[in-house]
Amino acid sequence: MKSHLMVVGCAAGALLLGCPSQPEAKHRAMLRNVGGSTMQVVPAEGQLPYCLVFTISESKVVRQLTMNRGNESVKCNPGQPIGNVSFRVPREEGKVKVLVFFSDRKLNAGSLAQQIVELSAEGKNFYAYDLRLPGDVNTETIDFEPTEDVPTVSGEAIGKNGAPASGDGGAGGPPGGPPSPPPPPPGGGPAKDGGK
């Protein structure tokens, strides 16, 4: 009864004093978009030490992103991209849900993947208590929508004289330079000795 009165009192007095604000939900991980369809998953401080990352597309395609030789959870350091790698999401699969599982011990990824496939087929949300997992496990779900990749250019190595240092000795030359000699005629050139 007391809590009911507090809620009513808070609602009635909101105009005068305001109600205490609810603390913002802390995210266990964040996504770092590193270009178009490529992302990194970065754990927040204070998370359990091991993690697994999966995606589920709008068309229910499930992908396991964290892979190692033993097909188990990987070590996750706060503030650093998981696995120190970037993950590419196929653009044609559309928007995905990124599922991050933090645990106090290494988990078998195959067993978890099977459960994810079953739950996603049923259209259910994912919570640690819905899964058959040992130990302490926390989850984070983040939306990611891949976009067109931004084209990249590596540039060309330059030689000592300032010209491109291509491996063909500069054949063809820069645009606007002298024309290249014509190619030899088909058949390896004119016949010698009168065609004998």
Tell me: pLDDT of 170 over 50.
no
- pLDDT tens digits for range 29-64: 998 888 889 999 999 999 999 999 999 998 889 999
Q: Is the torsion defined by CA of 93, 98, 99, 105 positive or negative? A: positive
In the structure, how many helices (H) and strands (E) does the chain have?
2, 8
- pLDDT tens digits for range 140-162: 999 999 887 666 666 777 778 87
How much is the mean pLDDT over the chain? 76
Q: So what CATH class is 24-144?
A: mainly beta
Would you place residue 133 in the very low, low, confident or very high pLDDT band (cuts 50, 70, 90)?
confident
Q: Which two tokens stand for residue 98?
A: 């990124």
C-alpha count within 13 angstroms, C-beta hemisphere, residue 141: 11
Neighbours of 147 (CB within 10 A): 11
Residue whose tokens read 């088909």: 186
**Which amino acid is present at 64?**
Q
Tell me: pLDDT of 1 over 50.
no
User: Which range in 141-145, 164-168, 170-174 is most confidently predicted, on average pLDDT?
Assistant: 141-145
Q: What are the structural domain ranges in the chain? A: 24-144
